[in-house]
Amino acid sequence: MNMYQLGVFPVYFPEDKTEYIPALITMVIFGIAAFLVFRFIVKISKQEQGKVDKQYEQMKQPNNDQE
């Protein structure tokens, strides 16, 4: 059996540590983007919750138009 059949892949650790810089920059960019998307989703969710709460309060009030 070779290593690939066992699911073990050789790991490459570069001797020159400057090769990590592009990966670090990419990780930071995607991390910031993920945080911004998360905050955007939370903001939209709160707006939608406010709309639902407002509609619920209107439905809870007794209708005076039916008298």
Q: What is the DSSP string of 15-61?
A: SSGGGGHHHHHHHHHHHHHHHHHHHHHHHHHHHHHHHHHHHHHHHHS
What is residue 1's three-state secondary structure?
coil
Tell me which of 62 and 15 has the higher pLDDT: 15
Q: Taking residues 48-56, what's their average pLDDT?
A: 94
Give pLDDT, residue 4.
64
pTM: 0.64
Give pLDDT, residue 9.
74
Q: How many CA atoms lie within 13 A of 4 on its CB side?
A: 0
Q: Where are the domains of the chain?
A: 34-58
pLDDT digits (tens, 9 = 90+) for 2-51: 666 667 777 788 899 999 999 999 999 999 999 999 999 999 999 999 99
Give pLDDT, residue 64.
57
